Amino acid sequence: MTRRADLLDLRVALQARREAFALATVVETEGSASAKPGAKALISDRGELLTGWVGGGCAESAVRDAALESLCSGTPGVVELDLNDEVLGTGMPCGGSMRVFVEPMLPRPSFWILGHGRVAECLCHFAGTVGFHVVVSDTPAPDPARFPDAEEIICDDYDYARLAPRAGDAVVIATQHKGDHLSAVRALRSPAGYIAIVASGKRARLMLEYLSNQGFSQEELAHIHAPAGLDLGAETPEEIALSVISEAVMLRRGGSGLSKSADALRGRRPGATVRQPASAE
């Protein structure tokens, strides 16, 4: 039987390595069941039982399948295990039933910031505030004091070999033309969920032409946001950073980018009077 301390140690180690796994906990049993309420197990994103115990045989198999589904959907759930019916249940008539709570433990998505300057500094702060794992990569070495919210700083990755975003990560290239074409190629070949380039309209067009000449299809190029950010009328570095992080959050959460008050107006009854804002003049 795995000790709780061993399970906790492994859980902490997996989280430190930013590996996805599922935590399964027996919450209720009835009749004859090998696992008792409170029993726990950790299951990898490949469906392997890493440690712990929630019952043997087909009960374990059913929980592992549920763990994979939970990790895929990102939502927790309760598995109902019928230990009485070997045809419709778990296949092992032990004379009881179990309920197991399966919870996905997913690492926070990373927000990769390539470059330096005030926009990059503000992006670091905003990304950390909204819950991203922030990685700053630039050469020469960035001043850590300017990126207090960064959880990782990379200072020697001249060919962007360490740029390895996962699905759901965000990559923002703010290198001010220095190697941005190289990092964009690597980012587009990754499963990153958001890729953006902080650039002028002219520079963005040149970047997209370069990437097209590198063999990327129009469908692939549609994944890159250049220029980066929502149209907020941003002018200052702080406002530009806000527009970029807003776009990243919108795509991560499936938002529309529209005004919430505009959405509310659609729900008004026909003929309702809408007050117009006072003139600013």
Q: What is the pLDDT of residues 173-217, one digit of tens each?
A: 998 777 888 899 999 999 999 999 999 999 899 999 999 999 999
Would the pLDDT of 47 be above 90?
Answer: yes
Stronger pLDDT, 27 or 180, i.e. the higher one = 27
Residue 145 neighbours by CB under 8 Å, 6+ apart: none
One-letter amino acid of 114: L
- Fold of domain 110-253: Rossmann fold (3.40.50)
Would the pLDDT of 9 be above 80?
Answer: yes
Helix 180-188 and helix 201-213, axial crossing angle in degrees, nearest 10: 60
Q: Give the lowest-confidence range in 7-11, 19-23, 34-38, 186-190.
A: 34-38
Its pTM stands at 0.79
Q: What is the pLDDT of residue 228?
A: 95
- Omega before 237 within 30 of 0, i.e. cis: no
Q: What mean pLDDT comes out for the span 15-22?
A: 93
| In the chain, where the domains are located | 4-105, 110-253
Would the pLDDT of 88 be above 90?
Answer: no
Q: What is the pLDDT of residue 123?
A: 98
Q: Give the lowest-confidence range in 39-43, 102-106, 136-140.
A: 136-140
How many C-beta atoms lie closer than 10 Å to residue 247's C-beta? 22
